[in-house]
Chains A and B, each alone.
Chain A
Amino acid sequence: GENVEQHPSTLSVQEGDSAVIKCTYSDSASNYFPWYKQELGKGPQLIIDIRSNVGEKKDQRIAVTLNKTAKHFSLHITETQPEDSAVYFCAASIPGSNYQLIWGAGTKLIIKP
């Protein structure tokens, strides 16, 4: 079945630098890839998503890239700020399952002042 691997598990970057989180998926038929941010004590919140007919999507300081050939997608955060500190989850849709999601294990992003 579909599997999603997420790396790294923890990422510490200096405020103002960029952060990149990578995910790989196993089923080439997956076609929806959301990224969720979970702040301490809260539920996850969608920050950006991409569908398989697009290679890149950007929203202000956040961008997601998708490489269908290599079956991996990445979250890029530029000019990181303290409020970016959180756990980030990637997910991939399960083909033929009414678009259920398989989730990555999460990346704890720490922004150092």
Chain B
Amino acid sequence: DSGVTQTPKHLITATGQRVTLRCSPRSGDLSVYWYQQSLDQGLQFLIQYYNGEERAKGNILERFSAQQFPDLHSELNLSSLELGDSALYFCASSVTGANTEAFFGQGTRLTVV
């Protein structure tokens, strides 16, 4: 158990809908990262937050947004969903935003039908 909690584990929704994925980082970790992993693909970095502020942006679509709350949990919002958004979405946390170990959650498997 990495200490990072993601909910829900599975999500099935229709095209055009909006969903929210939630992540609780490890106790004491200030930095949260979101990644997308499509079937048999690598990890695509979406966005990073550090202590409530956006720190870095990767290949995140405009239809997607995220935030980190004062209690440090984070939410990833995906809207106007398309079939191609079906993927595993991972959250990871680390103590800082620097080159330290990132701990990954179990992921949320999103299926858009």
Contacts and interface: CB of A to CB of B under 8 A. Distances in A.
B22 to A, nearest CB: 15
Interface residues of B, number: 22
A43 B56 contact: no
Interface stretch (A14-22, A53-61, A67-75, A98-106): A98-106
Contacts of A51: 99
A97 to B, nearest CB: 6
B55 interface: yes
Contact of A44 (B43, B48, B58): B43
Interface in B34-58: 41-43, 45, 48, 55-56, 58
A26 interface: no
Given A98-B55, A98-B56, A100-B56, A46 B101 contact: yes
A4 to B, nearest CB: 9
Contacts of B99: 31-32, 34, 49, 51, 93, 99
A45 interface: yes
B102 interface: yes
Contacts, number: 53
B2 interface: yes
Contacts of B107: 42-43
Given A32-B99, A43-B92, A44-B104, A104 B48 contact: no
B2 A97 contact: no
B62 to A, nearest CB: 20
A113 B97 CA distance: 41
B106 A89 contact: no
Contacts of B42: 89, 103-106
A49 B101 contact: yes
Given A43-B92, A43-B106, A99 B45 contact: no
Given A44-B43, A103-B45, A105-B41, 11 more contacts: A36-B104, A43-B2, A43-B4, A45-B2, A45-B104, A46-B102, A93-B99, A98-B56, A100-B45, A101-B45, A103-B42
